[in-house]
Amino acid sequence: MNFESAVQTYLGEIDFDPARLKEKYLAERDKRIRDEGIDQYIEVTADFSHYEDDPYTPRAERDPLFDHVDVVVIGGGFGGLLTGARLAEAGYTKIRLIDKAGDFGGTWYWNRYPGAMCDVESYCYLPLLEELNYVPKHKYSFAPEILEHSRNIARKFNLYEHACLQTAVTGMQWDDDAARWIITTDRRDEMTADFVVMSNGPLSRPKLPGIPGINEFKGHTFHTSRWDYNYTGGDSYGNLHKLKDKRVGIVGTGATAVQCIPHLGEWAAELYVFQRTPSSIDTRNNHETDPGWAASLQPGWQQERMDNFNIMTNGGDADVDMVHDGWTDIYRNLTGTAAKQASRTLGRRLTDTEREELIELSDYRKMNSIRRRVDQIVSDPATAQALKPWYRQFCKRPCFHDEYLQTYNRPNVQLVDTHGKGVERLTEHGVVVDDQEYEVDCLIFATGFEVGTSYTRRSGYDITGRDGVTLSEYWADEMRTFQGVMSRGFPNCFFLGFTQTAITVNVPHALNEQAKHAAHIVAETRLRQKQRVEPTAQAEADYVNEIHRLARTNEQFYIECTPGYYNSEGREGNKEGFFSGMHGAGPIKFYNQLRAWRAAGTLEGLELY
Ligand code: NDP
């Protein structure tokens, strides 16, 4: 059998013209490329800093702290909570989580917009389910349940006791004589800790579009991650009754907008959706948890399910697809797994070109079905046409929703397509697109979060290591870590998040692996009665080389993609893209590598003193 026949066996008849589709994709991309790249966005400081204010918890005053704890963990989201839990399991009791937010939950503290829910299956996504003896109520949990689960993790592992909430770290300095970190905050604290863990979150700083006139608009505005329920009424489940007589505009149609637009459409007198690039919307199929299934779960079930999902979404082989949803479907068909099946049919390995061709064809076929779905659901043909995504599936975050497209059939909802240009400007009363002004009472920014700016700008503080060198200086050219968790010159300091590690669709899975690793090193350092731990210069250099050697930049793929935060807004080279600098072995191998390293017990590559 030749390659063409193998492709046909796998994909069926190719009833489209790949060359024409590619041309269309590139033309749509070119429309959107802007010279400013990431600089098109406004940092939420100075005049815009109120966009970051906490609308959920009134500020409580407290006296500054000058005490000492074992470990300070910065960030009260899943990364911080998992680290706290793993340290508590290792016997630590003086663990202090610090967060700007008024409670735990991280992204789930901030993102309470109506309709917010996790879009990775909750049985895999919510951390520590077995430890808390909890099974989520739905296949995809709604935000309030996830926030409550975060609080329950904190209660279970006693993390409220030393927590500093509503507190922003302003700096950290290593005191080598005392072998401790000095941590300063905006509450005038000057506390110390033997170890620090930075779990700042990859998408934590809201960003705003740099639209002319953004300060002129006199109506009400807010960012989706600071939803103003005083203004809209209702809660995360909907019922936005105060919008009944309001004209509402929303800028952005990414994963967040897709979830909240159905609620805005249901309640606003008029809703204008200002779109630059449509998202790809596949079916969701959420449902309540079957109590019989929940009762049948055996110990170890969550790790097994997470591992299975990780395998299914990273081209591995497994007999069953336990999660069996939109994610596993696209990964099965649009990544290496497709190539594996075709090569089995063919009886030989595919060449790189054949592999790429097959995956590209699969992608076109998938996106054709996404575009057909729009036609099937949206009644107005012009609106349907504008809602069709013309790019490859993984150029942007794939979305899954069963009410989003339907919202455009409501008479009070109007899609204002900007043909890739974006909103032109704001006036006192509304939004201008193509010289037409749309008057609104309220404008909601669903414009996402900072990506591609420096790690320290996003975290809001810098840290000073052993020789007076700051992390922003040390990482000025690129991140330099050992195993993605530590850097030379910054003893007893750990990083969690997208720091030269392997990342997977189920981000809490990755955070759990990192948390276990950091907690292991902390515990081993104490067990060996040492005060300091850091990677050797050689081990760090070797690891950075490994990152370079195995780098899967997918450069051509991202260059051809429509701009967004995955590809540094379309900048050539994608050096600062969301997934740049990740470990190319992929999460299955990488996590096994970390496990094997821990099991060896030699702490190879680390210096303890
Ligand atoms: P995104 O960055 O994905 O989306 C921002 C949106 O704003 C895009 O549609 C962008 O258009 C648009 N935009 C920016 N500037 C302008 C402008 N000048 N005029 C018009 N439109 C503009 O942010 P989100 O908050 O939607 O999502 C961020 C990430 O958070 C997701 O990718 C996902 O990882 C995560 N998330 C996860 C969810 C879950 O798991 N349940 C739910 C929500 C978010 P363009 O595409 O053209 O740049």
For residue 547, the 8-state DSSP code is H
Which residue's alpha carbon is nearest to atom 10 within ligand 1? 252
Per-residue pLDDT, 9:
79
Look up residue 522 and give its two tokens: 């902390």
Specify the fold of 68-204+451-550+585-608.
FAD/NAD(P)-binding domain (3.50.50)
Per-residue pLDDT, 316:
80
For residue 80, give the nearest of 444, 495, 395, 431 by alpha carbon.
495
For residue 101, give the nearest of 158, 34, 56 by alpha carbon.
56
Per-residue pLDDT, 339:
80
- pLDDT tens for 263-282 read 999 999 999 999 999 999 99
Residue 381 burial (10 A CB sphere; 0-12, 13-18, 19+)? exposed
For residue 114, the 8-state DSSP code is T
Per-residue pLDDT, 386:
98
Which residue's alpha carbon is nearest to atom 5 within ligand 1? 447
**What are the strands of the beta sheet with 430-433, ordered from one edge?**
425-426, 430-433, 436-439
**Ligand 1 atom closest to the CA of 564, numbered from 1:** 48
Per-residue pLDDT, 452:
65
Q: Name residues whose C-beta falls within 8 Å of residue 267's C-beta, 6 or more positions apart in sequence.
A: 232, 234, 238, 239, 240, 241, 243, 244
- pLDDT tens for 453-477 read 666 777 789 999 999 999 999 999 8
325 phi and psi angles, rounded to 5 deg: -140, -170
Per-residue pLDDT, 50:
84
Q: CB-side exposure of 544: number of CA atoms within 13 Å?
A: 16
Instruction: Please give the share of the chain, as a percent, with pLDDT higher than 90.
Output: 74
Q: Is 350 in the pocket of ligand 1 (CB under 6 A)?
A: no
Ligand 1 center from residue 604 Cα (angstroms): 41
pLDDT band for 575, please (50, 70, 90 cuts): low
**Ligand 1 atom closest to the CA of 258, numbered from 1:** 26
CA distance 535 to 538: 8
Instruction: Please give the share of the chain, as a percent, with pLDDT higher than 70.
Output: 97
Residue pair 253/279 in contact (Cβ under 8 Å)? The answer is yes
Residue 573 has pLDDT above 60, yes or no: no
Q: Is 580 in the pocket of ligand 1 (CB under 6 A)?
A: no
Ligand 1 center from residue 151 Cα (angstroms): 27
By DSSP bridging, strand 413-417 and strand 270-275 are: parallel
CA distances (Å), origin 404, targets 215, 269, 377: 30, 18, 10
Quote the distance between the C-alpha of residue 224 and its chain's center.
15
**Ligand 1 atom closest to the CA of 451, numbered from 1:** 2
What mean pLDDT do residues 493-500 have?
A: 92
- pLDDT tens for 105-137 read 999 999 999 999 999 999 999 999 999 999 999
Task: Name the CA dihedral angle for 40, 46, 48, 50, rounded to a multiple of 10 degrees.
Answer: 150
What mean pLDDT do residues 89-111 have?
A: 96
Per-residue pLDDT, 105:
97
Determine which helix (DSSP H) or strand (DSSP E) holds 74, and give its type and residue range: strand 68-74
Per-residue pLDDT, 34:
81
Q: Is 118 in the pocket of ligand 1 (CB under 6 A)?
A: yes
Least confident of 186-195, 356-365, 378-387: 356-365
Q: Is 286 in the pocket of ligand 1 (CB under 6 A)?
A: no
Per-residue pLDDT, 576:
59
Which residue's alpha carbon is nearest to atom 12 within ligand 1? 252
Q: Is 590 in the pocket of ligand 1 (CB under 6 A)?
A: no
> Where in the sequence of the chain do the CATH 3.50.50.60 domains occur?
68-204+451-550+585-608
By DSSP bridging, strand 436-439 and strand 430-433 are: antiparallel
Q: Is 211 in the pocket of ligand 1 (CB under 6 A)?
A: yes
Per-residue pLDDT, 586:
86
Residue 361 has pLDDT above 70, yes or no: yes
168 phi and psi angles, rounded to 5 deg: -105, 130
Q: Is 204 in the pocket of ligand 1 (CB under 6 A)?
A: no
* For ligand 1, mutation pick of 112, 120, 397 (most atoms within 8 Å of CB): 397
Ligand 1 center from residue 279 Cα (angstroms): 9
Residue 549 has pLDDT above 70, yes or no: yes
Residue 37 has pLDDT above 90, yes or no: no
- pLDDT tens for 412-430 read 999 999 999 999 999 999 9
Average per-residue pLDDT in the chain? 93
* For ligand 1, mutation pick of 224, 447, 451 (most atoms within 8 Å of CB): 447
What mean pLDDT do residues 295-322 have?
A: 93
Per-residue pLDDT, 175:
98
For residue 177, the 8-state DSSP code is T
Which residue's alpha carbon is nearest to atom 2 within ligand 1? 448
Per-residue pLDDT, 571:
67
Ligand 1 center from residue 562 Cα (angstroms): 13
Residue 351 has pLDDT above 60, yes or no: yes
Per-residue pLDDT, 331:
86
Residue 5 has pLDDT above 60, yes or no: yes
Residue 6 burial (10 A CB sphere; 0-12, 13-18, 19+)? buried
Q: Indicate the pTM of the whole model.
A: 0.95
Residue 577 has pLDDT above 70, yes or no: no
Q: Is 422 in the pocket of ligand 1 (CB under 6 A)?
A: yes
Which residue's alpha carbon is nearest to atom 18 within ligand 1? 422
Ligand 1 center from residue 207 Cα (angstroms): 10
pLDDT band for 324, please (50, 70, 90 cuts): very high
Q: Is 561 in the pocket of ligand 1 (CB under 6 A)?
A: no
Ligand 1 center from residue 476 Cα (angstroms): 27
CA distance 165 to 331: 39
Residue pair 114/234 in contact (Cβ under 8 Å)? The answer is yes
pLDDT band for 572, please (50, 70, 90 cuts): low
Per-residue pLDDT, 569:
78
